[in-house]
Amino acid sequence: MKTSLLLTSVFCLLTPALAVKTERWEVQTPADFMRGKLQRLTVASDGELRLGYNASKLGEFAKEIWCSTVAPDGTIYFGTGSPADVYAIGKDRQAVRIATTDAVAVTSLACDAQGNLYAGTLPDGKIFKITPDKKSSDYCRLRSPYVWALALDKNGVLFAGTGADGKIYRIGADAKPEEWYTAEDSNILCLAFDPADGSLLAGGSDRGLLYRVTAKGKGSVLHEFAEDEVKAILVSGQDLFVAVNKQKVRRPRAPVPGQRPSAGEFEALGAQLTAQYGAPAATRTTGRETPPETRMANLLAGALYQRQANGRVDRWAYWDNESIHAIARDAEGGILLAMAGAGRVFRVPDGQHWELLFDFDEKQALTLAVHNGRLAFVGMGNIGNAYLIDAQKSANGEYTSEARDCRFLATWGKLDWRAEGAVTVATRTGNTALPDKTWSTWSQPLTKAPAAISSPRGRYIQLRATLARQSEPCLRSLTLHLQVQNQKPEISALETGEKPKTNVVTTAGAPAAPAPEQFRPKPASTIKRLSWRASDKDGDTLLYRLYYRAEGDEVWIPMLQGRTLRATEHSWDTDSIPDAWYRVKVTASDEECNPVGEALIAERISHSIKVNNARPIVSDLKFDAGMLRGVARSKLSLIRFLEYSVDGAEWKFFAPADGVFDDREEIFGVKLPLAAGPHTIAVRATDEDGNAGVERIAIRVP
C-alpha cells in the first residue's frame, strides 16, 4: 500500500545563487545609462558618458510651450497653450509676457528682419503681430481654423500652413490672406524655403508627403515617406532634413475636400478643446480637427531623414515610442531634436551616431531654439516649463543608477569601472525598492578602480558616478560584483511507497538549487563569433569587409587580408593577436552592382571586445597544518572558478579566502584532511573567459 507523508514549513524561495556564486551587474550600454538619472551629462550611441550642459528652469508658464524662435537681436520668443500667451527672453535671461491672446494655443511663431513677431493660433485661425516695441494687435484671420506653421520668404512675405483643410496661405504687406496652395492632407504642419530656387517646402499630416510649391496653385510631391506625418523641415545647404512621425491611428482626409462642418459638429469640437485646455470654446464655425495635445498622443514613433541634392533619401535615426516635434542645427552641423514621449533632446551628428543631451521630467519636449550656433532654449509640454541652456559645458556632471534589486540580502564584492579623466563613484544601499531615509548615506567617493564597497549589506544598491570637467572625463562602464545570501530550502512534500520519488522537490516558483559545476565558465575558445544585419533599399548585393584595432590605437587592421564576405557572420580567430580590448568595424559596399566611383559604403563599429587567451597562473602553493594555500592570477580577466584534486581523484570546487570571485587575483586557503603519507595535490583556476591553468605540488603528511 502506497503512503504519503506531507511536511509543511515556512516557504523560502530557492534561487540559482549559491553561497559561493558571484553575480555581476554591469552598466555599459546606452540603454543601461538612460535607465538611471542623468544630470549635466550626455550619453552617446557608442555607450560613452560625458559632460553636458546645465539647463536652468525659468518656471511654469502654461500647460504647454508649443513653439519658439530667435529674433535677429538674439531675443528668444516662445508661445504657449492654455493660456495662449507670447513671452520674450532678453539678455537678462528673464522671461517676460509680451502678448495675451484670446486663442486656445499659440502654435507657431516667425520673426522678420525688422523685428516684428507673428504668432499663429488656434482654433480661430488668427495671426497676431507684435512690433519691436512689444505692441500686439490682430494681424489677420484665415478661413482655416488652425495655424500650424509660419514662414517668411526672402522678401519678408509671410506664409501660413493650416488645417483642417490642408491649405497654405500667402499674407501680403496689406495683411490680406490669399489661398496659395491646397494639399492632399488635412493639415500642413511645417514650412521652409529652399534657398536654391526660393520654392516653398511643406509637410503634411496624413500621408507622409513632402511638398514643393513653386507658384500659386502649383506644387508637387517631393517625397512620400513610409511614416504618416511630416512634422518638421530643416534646410541646410544643399541637404534637407525631415522629421517624420508614425501615427497609431491614421486620420484620413475628409471625403469631400473643403466641406465645412455643421454648427453642431463645431460645438462638439469646442467642448473638446475646452476639456483639453480649460480655455473658452471657439464661437466661429470653422474646420474640425484634433487639437494639438490629442494629435501628440496619437503619435507612435519618430524618424529623421536626410534628403540629398541628388534626391536620395537616407534615414539617419529612428525612435520607437517617441515622436519628433522640432528640429534645428548647431554650429558643428549636428541635428538637434525635441522629442515627446520621454521628454528627451537628442543630437544626431551623422547617420551612424547620436547623443542624448537632456532627459527632462516633463516627458514632452515640444520646441527648441538655437542661438549663436548652440542650443539655447527648450520648451516643454504636459507641464509648460521653459529651460535656458548654458553656453559652456558644466563643471561637473552626475549619473545615478536605478536601484538594483538583488532579490535577497547581498554581500558586496569589488566595484570596477572603465573611464578616463576625473571620475569618482559612490554607493548606497537599503532594503526598500525606493531609496528613502532608511537607506545608508552615500559612501565616500571611490577614486581608483577596482575598489571595495564600504556600504552595508542590503537587498538594493545604487551607484552614483561624478565626472569633473578638469580632465575631459569619460565613463564607459560600471561593474559591480556581489554575492546573494543563500536562502533556506523547503521540503513541501515527502512521499514513500513502492516507487518512491526523489526527496529533492520543487515548489511553484522555487527551482531546485544548481550544483557548483553549473557555474564553471565554458571552456575558452580563441574564436569570436561576429554577426551583423544589413540591407539595401534598392536590392543591391552587398560585400562586407572586417577590420579590428586595439583600444587606444588609430589604425584599423584588415581582418581578412583584403578579402570580402557575402555572409553576415564570421568566426574571428584571435589566437595570433595580443590579449587586449578591441573594437571591430564592418563595412558594407554595393560596389558589385554599381559603376566604379558610384558605390556607397556604410560602416558600423562594435562595442569593446575583450580578447583573452592566456591561462591563469596558480602560484605560491603550500600545504601546512592541514591547509592548502596559494594565489590564482589572471592578467586580463577575473578568476571565476577554483578546484583541487588529491592524488588524481575527482576535482572539487572551493571558494577564495574572501568568499567572492571578484578580482583578477584571488588568494585561497582550503582545509584538506589528508591521511599520513605522500600525496600529490593539483589546483586548477578558471577565469571568466574559460581559460584554465593548473599547478601541482607533492607533499608528505607525517
Distance CA 466, CA 518 (A): 38
Residues in the chain predicted with pLDDT less than 50, given as ranges, are 1-20, 252-289, 498-508, 510
How many Cβ atoms from other residues are within 10 Å of residue 436's Cβ? 8
Q: How far is CA 266 from the centre of its chain?
A: 41
pLDDT at site 262:
40
pLDDT at site 477:
95
Residue matched to cell numbers 573611464: 419
According to DSSP, residue 519 is labeled: G
Whether 356 is covered by a domain: the verdict is yes
Contact 322, 342 (CB under 8 A): yes
> Which grid coordinates are listed for 84?
495662449
What single letter denotes the amino acid at residue 150? L
Q: Are residues 537 and 467 in the same domain?
A: no
pLDDT digits (tens, 9 = 90+) for 584-614: 999 999 999 888 888 889 999 988 899 999 9
| Strand positions, DSSP E, 625-664 | 627-633, 639-646, 652-654
Q: Are residues 319 and 363 in the same domain?
A: yes
Whether 8 is covered by a domain: the verdict is no
Q: Are residues 317 and 425 in the same domain?
A: no
pLDDT at site 511:
52
Q: Dihedral, CA atoms, 214, 220, 223, 227, nearest 10 degrees?
A: 110
Whether 655 is covered by a domain: the verdict is yes
Q: Are residues 296 and 334 in the same domain?
A: yes
pLDDT at site 121:
96
Domain boundary among 329, 362, 393: 393
Contact 169, 271 (CB under 8 A): no
What single letter denotes the amino acid at residue 527? I
pLDDT at site 563:
94
How many Cβ atoms from other residues are within 10 Å of residue 581's Cβ? 15
Report which of 587, 633, 578, 629 is spatially closest to residue 606, judged by C-alpha positions. 587
Contact 132, 114 (CB under 8 A): yes
Domain boundary among 338, 365, 393: 393
Phi then psi dihedrals of residue 599, to 5 deg: -70, 150
Q: Are residues 264 and 171 in the same domain?
A: yes
Residue 406 belongs to domain spanning:
23-49+397-484
Q: Are residues 133 and 216 in the same domain?
A: yes
pLDDT digits (tens, 9 = 90+) for 669-678: 999 989 999 9
Q: Are residues 193 and 80 in the same domain?
A: yes
Domain boundary among 568, 592, 611: 611
Q: How far is CA 679 from the centre of its chain?
A: 58
CATH code, domain carrying 558: 2.60.40.10
Distance CA 47, CA 351 (A): 16
Contact 559, 548 (CB under 8 A): yes
Whether 514 is covered by a domain: the verdict is no
Q: Are residues 623 and 479 in the same domain?
A: no
What is the number of structural domains in the chain? 4
pLDDT digits (tens, 9 = 90+) for 481-530: 998 887 777 777 766 654 444 444 444 454 555 566 667 788 889 999 99
Q: Are residues 597 and 646 in the same domain?
A: no
Contact 682, 696 (CB under 8 A): yes
CATH code, domain carrying 684: 2.60.40.650
Q: Are residues 132 and 240 in the same domain?
A: yes
Whether 232 is covered by a domain: the verdict is yes
CATH code, domain carrying 137: 2.130.10.10
Distance CA 16, CA 23 (A): 10
Q: Are residues 475 and 584 in the same domain?
A: no
Whether 4 is covered by a domain: the verdict is no
pLDDT at site 177:
96
Q: Are residues 443 and 533 in the same domain?
A: no
CATH code, domain carrying 34: 2.60.120
